[in-house]
Amino acid sequence: MSDDSTMVRTHIAVNDAVFALARGQDLSDLKARIESAVQAGGRFETFTVVGNREVCVLFSPRTAVTLSVETVLTDIRDTGVLDTPFGGLFDF
């Protein structure tokens, strides 16, 4: 038996760019915000990705968006807390 723990990872593909969402993202809220942005003709929406980085995307009626969910090994970079980004100069 393995001691490896797992977590659920959600990816969002926006046109040709793919982002791994940080844990704690409210997918229902994100989907509703994207739908609202598209219905409004276009608007920037923000979400947090693995490594606790914020991404802002312009969603419009021509934006192709796909959400996918998978089970992966637990990722220590993935806390979803923007105040503690992973990957800075002092992260080893």
The 8-class DSSP code of residue 40 comes to T
All structural domains of the chain with their residue ranges: 9-72
Higher pLDDT, residue 65 or 25: 65
What does the pLDDT read at residue 23? Answer: 85
φ/ψ of residue 14, rounded to 5:
-120, 105
Mean pLDDT of the 41-46 span? 98
Mean pLDDT of the chain: 86
